[in-house]
Every structure is written in structure tokens, then in C-alpha cells.
Amino acid sequence: MVYFDERWITISWDEELQAVVAEWKGFAESKEFRAGLEAGLSLARKKMATRWLADTRRGPPSTQEDQQWTSQIWFPRLIAQGVRWMALVVPESAITRMSLKGIMTKVTSTDLTQAYFPDAESARIWLASVR
């Protein structure tokens, strides 16, 4: 079920996985980047999700401010909501990989298990296995 669909991201619910799926599609301004993450958080809250699949293959690089906002404000809210497992499909762009690393290295909560994958299928298999 598609919950939020814009030119830069699609947020959907995967019924089989019982997971929020965030598929980044391209460049996003700061307010768009944050709106996409907020839409995903809203869906996670609505569905009481414990799993999240972030397909960042075509994701945009993020500014230092957005990296800080994501790691210090958005992630604590996501974890407080109950998301415990996050599968990340690694970005194709080296710049976006550095942005993602800048965010994820600051997410130190032991309540969230992160795993990285080269493709969405591997990420799905892992998410289906976690309990």
C-alpha cells in the first residue's frame, strides 16, 4: 500500500514483511527530504511497525544540517515509536553513501539493529528473518 508518493521518495507498507518501505528516487531539497522521513514515521506509527526497509540506491546526498536532524531528532523518534530493525540498501552514489554514513554512525541506540545490503531482495530476506 502506497502511503506517500513524490518524485523523490515513495513510502509504502509491505504487508508481507510488516515493514515500512522508503524507496528514494532522486534529489530532494531539505524540506522534501524531511517530509519524506516524516511521512515514513507517520506510517510506522499508524501500523505500529518494528521493521523499516530504506532503499537508498537512488537516494540524494543530504546536507550536514539534514544529517544532524535525521540522526539526532528523527531517529530517536523512530526508535521511540518501536522500529527495531532497519535494512538499508546501499546507495549507488559515493556522495550519498558518505551522507548515509554520516547519519548512521551517529545512530548509536542499542534498540535499533541496522544491516546493509547491495539489493532490495537481500534486505527483504533479512527483514523477514528478524524477530
Task: Find the mean pLDDT for residues 103-110.
Answer: 92
Distances from the Cα of 33 to the Cαs of 10, 25, 70, 111, 130, in angstroms? 11, 11, 10, 24, 28
Name the residue ranges covered by the structural domains of the chain.
Answer: 2-129
pTM over 0.75: yes
Task: Find the mean pLDDT for residues 43-51.
Answer: 98
Task: Find the mean pLDDT for residues 11-40.
Answer: 97
The pLDDT, as a whole number, for residue 92 is 93
Q: What number does CATH give the domain 2-129?
A: 3.30.750
Task: Find the mean pLDDT for residues 17-26.
Answer: 97
Q: What is the pLDDT confidence band of residue 33, given thresholds at 50, 70 and 90?
A: very high
Secondary structure string (H, E, C) spanning the chain: CEEEECCCEEEEEECCCCEEEEEECCCCCHHHHHHHHHHHHHHHHHHCCCEEEEECCCCCCCCHHHHHHHHHHHHHHHHHHCCCEEEEECCCCHHHHHHHHHHHCCCCCCCCEEEEECCHHHHHHHHHHCC
